[in-house]
Structure 1
Amino acid sequence: MSEQHPALPVAVIGAGPIGLATAAYLLERDMEPLVLEAGPGAGKAVWEWGHVRLFSTWDEVIAPAAEKLLAPTGWERPEGSSYPSGSDWAARYLQPLADALGERVRYDARVTGVSRVGRDRVVDAGREDQPFVLHLTGRDGSEERVLARAVIDASGTWDTPSPLGGNGLPALGERGAADRITYRVPDLNDPAVRARYAGKRTAVIGSGASAFTVLATLATLAEDEPGTHAAWVLRRGIGGDTFGGGEADQLPARGALGLRAKAAVEAGHATATTSFRTQAVERDGEQLVLVAEDGRRLDPVDEVIALTGLRPDLSYLDELRLDLDERLQAPVAVAPLIDPNVHSCGTVYPHGAKELSHPEPDVYLLGMKSYGRAPTFLAMTGYEQARSVAAALAGDHEAAARVELILAETGVCGGSGLIDEPEAEQGEGGGCCATPATVQIGAPATATGGGC
């Protein structure tokens, strides 16, 4: 890190789990962090999915450096083997951690641009000698600039969900149907939200943990509210790894979530349509019809829950020289570890400052943002990133290169699956690299529900 501006702080964008942990690790290294948070408090995104329970235990979502910082404040550590909800995590850990950091955390400070003082991305001369300048916009529209010796972007990807269109763009009619589409896991404990889906037919688009959560919760709702049914839409075929690792998953709650989704399908509370890439959303009276690129049309649904992933907002980093993978928009050295297009056996090698570095020195993307468009991420991974990057910025390259984390395996061994070969047979037992068959599973909840 440049030694010419030691009085300046390290700017950390985002007061979420990874941003706050990064600040704690920086303090541990005697560096002053300045955490810039667009929301009114810590963990804004976590609060928004606060009704969802994590599949990691408390022991797995508390950063060691953060715990050290919290200890003198009288903080009561939650029981380590229990599973927090998002609200638990935010209220009992994130906000207390932000409070312990005090004035080092600034709220209602949205970063709208990052550059070098007096240098746009084109200029080479004297570039590395200049501090960073961050443009901030307040809630009232006021503007401000702050200087920093390094920039760590841990703002996540929550605010930029991917559209339901199979080509990465909004499907035709998607924006016009916004009143019937949500991109979040609904909170069915909220009476108004519950009424929106009770007794209704809902298309659930996606194949990750969020989709599993929705399938399981809608199945529970269906037991109390007849007519509730999920039309599960997958862009891929059904394979041995479709529902995750199950009992082989080293995070038991993660494996159990996939098994609950499978049970919802087998019980007839959900039907699956595979290899369906949405091209259009059409109105059919009060209902919506999804149309695939190949012309197939789903039976009408009342609501759509699109859980097709998240993507990073890179717009305000445009004046920095970043080296990002062309597919995932993740740092190029990280992308091969997490790319869903290639074979993976469920283990991501712990990585740190070396893999997260860019041509622009002293700039790092951490946490979910470092994964770009990749679909999975564990808090433990982000904490290890933060520890390594703080060590690198402090000049302790030995510690930065050291691996201090062993990640749990998913129990899944396989690639992303093929979309356009529905008749390919799957290998015995759903083993590695088998082509998933495209099949219809489950049965309609009612005779009039229709099979998708």
Structure 2
Amino acid sequence: MSEQKLPVVVVGAGPVGLAAAAHLVQRGIEPLVLEAGADAGSAVREWSHVRLFSTWSEVVDPAAEKLLAPTGWTAPDGATYPSGGDWAANYLQPLADVLGDKVRFGARVTGVSRLGRDRVVDADREQQPFTIHVLNADGSEERITARAVIDASGTWSTPSPIGGDGLPALGERSASDHISYRVPDLKDPAVRARYAGKRTAVIGSGASAFTALAYLADLAKDAPGTHAVWVLRRGIGGSTFGGGEADQLPARGALGLAAKAAVEDGYASAATGFRTSVVEKAGDQLVLVAEGGHRLDPVDEVIVLTGFRPDLSFVSELRLGLDERLQAPTELAPLIDPNQHSCGTVYPHGVKELSHPEQGVYLVGMKSYGRAPTFLAMTGYEQVRSIAAALAGDQEAAERVELTLPETGVCGGAGLFDEPDAAESEGGGGCCAAPTTVQIGVGAPAPSGGC
């Protein structure tokens, strides 16, 4: 079989992976989507209780909508906000159904390489197709050859740990029964009981942390004794709670304001400039200890929302060009670097910024952002539109920009989060302050710290 007749393998049947397949079909290129889970959007389904801050009109890919239209699919009201469950059930699964046998579930990619060439070998490298090793749900293994690989596997499976140095804090693993790395679904009676009337540390400064704080504040109104301790690695400043009313995505701005209200109304206290080094057990409770030895009062539970990072293990035999800090493609990294980037200046980008020394392989979606916290679904749709055009030989379309992104309304700190699998690291314009715990009363100004 000639290389042009081989499929383009897409890893992951999430929003961006399925959009990639739709754009490839539109270009007359055969895709094969390999999804480890049992359903479309398996990662999205794990946060089905969380509402997106982008409207339906912003999370449906144009090429996907064209595939769905002839089936009688009715687009949801574009002005409303879907939950993760809505997104998966009313868009992602119907799209996978339309794609049919172009999507395989229960197919976990365990390795990608050039056929007969490890990453060291130069000879005839670019003439060899890609080989993809797959572990199927029934335990069988197989190899698939492809002309190109689009890795849209996301970062959901690899949350960042508690430790301020990027490594698990001492004692973090042994205390895992009281630690969660996800926004809790407080509509679930068992989950609600876990946090009701308890002191919970929420570690993180992004959209997921805002959501958790707001959820716990609502719980506190019905369950006395419920209190959140918001642990930040930096101080509280003007950008801490996002863009507020200046945000061009209103629901995103409202999310930060809800977190601010949780603190101001006394349902949460903030421990700022606190980089956790040790998690100690104190009976049935946990004590967080900072790098300098500062200790917080005991808590019953810990919710860690410090971001996600890409799993690069199965692409280790490919020659990827990744930024040494963000683990994002080298040309993309300066556009999304949270140490420099602010105020909605993430520019639309495509095949040029996503290319690697290994031609024909692309990391897209959240995975392309590495550890950066500024991703929107519409950004991923633009990425795969450009890549599909390039694979079809339409360089003009590949280089054309067909997207305008909304601004955050805030400089530094907050990013363009669209969903909980967006990284929420605490870099990005953040400054460090001496560890301190503050209780912000109703109507009191937020203390300036660090930023």
Same-fold call, TM cutoff 0.5: yes
Q: Match for 1:404 among 378, 399, 402?
A: 402
Q: By how many angstroms is 1:421 displaced?
A: 4.6
What amino acid sits opposite 1:234 in the alignment? Answer: L
Aligned residue in 1 for 2:417: none
**8 Å Cα contact 1:38-1:107 kept in structure 2:** yes
**8 Å Cα contact 1:238-1:439 kept in structure 2:** no
Matches within 5 A, 1:243-322: 243-322=241-320
Query: Is residue 2:253 matched to residue 1:237?
Result: no
**8 Å Cα contact 2:335-2:341 kept in structure 1:** no
Q: Distance in 2 between matches of 1:69 and 1:281?
A: 50
Q: Match for 1:221 among 200, 219, 222?
A: 219
Q: By how many angstroms is 1:376 displaced?
A: 2.8
What is the aligned-residue identity percentage? 75
Aligned residue in 1 for 2:141: 143
Partner SS, residue 380 of structure 1? helix
Partner SS, residue 320 of structure 1? coil
Matches within 5 A, 1:48-87: 48-87=46-85
Q: Match for 2:36 among 30, 35, 38?
A: 38
Partner SS, residue 36 of structure 1? strand
**8 Å Cα contact 1:128-1:361 kept in structure 2:** yes
Partner SS, residue 175 of structure 2? helix
Q: By how many angstroms is 1:441 displaced?
A: 4.4
Q: Distance in 1 between matches of 2:101 and 2:162?
A: 40
Partner SS, residue 175 of structure 1? coil
Q: Deviations over 1:301-320 (max 9, x none)?
A: 00000001000000000110
What amino acid sits opposite 1:18 in the alignment? Answer: V
Q: Distance in 1 between matches of 2:145 and 2:222?
A: 56
What amino acid sits opposite 2:298 in the alignment? Answer: P
Q: Distance in 2 between matches of 1:192 and 1:52?
A: 17
Q: By how many angstroms is 1:9 displaced?
A: 0.3
Aligned residue in 2 for 1:340: 338
What amino acid sits opposite 2:73 in the alignment? Answer: W
Number of residue pairs aligned between Structure 1 and Structure 2: 428
Q: Distance in 2 between matches of 1:327 and 1:239?
A: 25
Q: By how many angstroms is 1:346 displaced?
A: 2.2
Q: Deviations over 1:167-211 (max 9, x none)?
A: 111000000000000000000000000000000000000000000
Q: Distance in 1 between matches of 2:336 and 2:132?
A: 30
What amino acid sits opposite 1:26 in the alignment? Answer: L
**8 Å Cα contact 1:53-1:85 kept in structure 2:** yes
Q: By how many angstroms is 1:140 displaced?
A: 2.7
**8 Å Cα contact 1:269-1:443 kept in structure 2:** no
Q: By how many angstroms is 1:443 displaced?
A: 5.3
**8 Å Cα contact 2:340-2:429 kept in structure 1:** no
In structure 2, stretches of 5+ residues that fail to align are 414-427, 443-451
Q: By how many angstroms is 1:418 displaced?
A: 4.7
Aligned residue in 2 for 1:22: 20
Q: Match for 1:189 among 187, 190, 193?
A: 187
**8 Å Cα contact 2:338-2:412 kept in structure 1:** no
**8 Å Cα contact 1:4-1:129 kept in structure 2:** no
TM norm structure 1: 0.93
Q: By how many angstroms is 1:345 displaced?
A: 1.8
Query: Is residue 2:370 matched to residue 1:372?
Result: yes
Aligned residue in 2 for 1:211: 209
In structure 1, stretches of 5+ residues that fail to align are 424-437, 445-452
Q: By how many angstroms is 1:442 displaced?
A: 1.7
In the TM superposition, structure 1's runs of 4+ consecutive aligned residues that sit over 6 Å from their partners are none
Q: Match for 1:363 among 361, 364, 380?
A: 361
Q: Distance in 2 between matches of 1:152 and 1:185?
A: 29
What amino acid sits opposite 1:25 in the alignment? Answer: H
Q: Distance in 1 between matches of 2:285 and 2:88?
A: 37
